Amino acid sequence: MLSVEAQVRLFVDIVSKNGNLLLNVGPMADGTIPDLQQARLEGLGAWLAVNGEAIFGMRPWTRAEGVTREGIGVRFTRRPDALSAILLAAPTGASVTLRGLIAGPGAAVRMLGSEAPLAWRQASDGITVSFPAPPPATPALALKLMPLPAPCEVPGNG
């Protein structure tokens, strides 16, 4: 059985590609859910409580995946007015560059679970987002970019 972290990352990957994840939960004869399966469901639910905005009602973007300049996998989902960039690992530095994005003037970036906007700047290969403090420990960190940035080609951006 997958760990909560692996389950969240698999879920994010599938959703970014317009798929569905079937969770095989097998209740016992008395209707109870085994502890291990319950823990996985609760872990996924806890992640969605903070980051559900990057999942529910979202559609695939022009590309489903990418890699930050720092080597972290990213999955993208969108709605007409916003792009979610979901990092599949916690950044180890104070900033991360989302390669292949061009933001317009007045764009805003925030980390889901926090209302405070994050500082960002347009880099030659994408958008560099700075964190004021170390990001929280989470299986996948969702960033919301508004308005929807434009894609650009970056060699080797998967």
pLDDT band of residue 155 (cuts 50, 70, 90) is low
Q: What is the pLDDT of residues 28-76, one digit of tens each?
A: 999 999 999 999 999 999 999 999 999 999 999 999 999 999 999 999 9
Q: What is the DSSP-derived secondary structure letter of residue 103? A: P
What's phi and psi for 94, nearest 5 deg? -80, -10
The residue ranges of every structural domain in the chain are 1-152
pTM of the model: 0.92
Average pLDDT over residues 68-94: 96
Tokens for 126, please give them: 């994408």
Tokens for 153, please give them: 């080609």
Rounded Cα distance, 118 and 135, in Å = 11
pLDDT band of residue 99 (cuts 50, 70, 90) is very high
Residue 102 has, within 13 A of its CA and on its CB side, a CA count of: 6
Superfamily the domain 1-152 falls into: Golgi alpha-mannosidase II (2.60.40.1180)
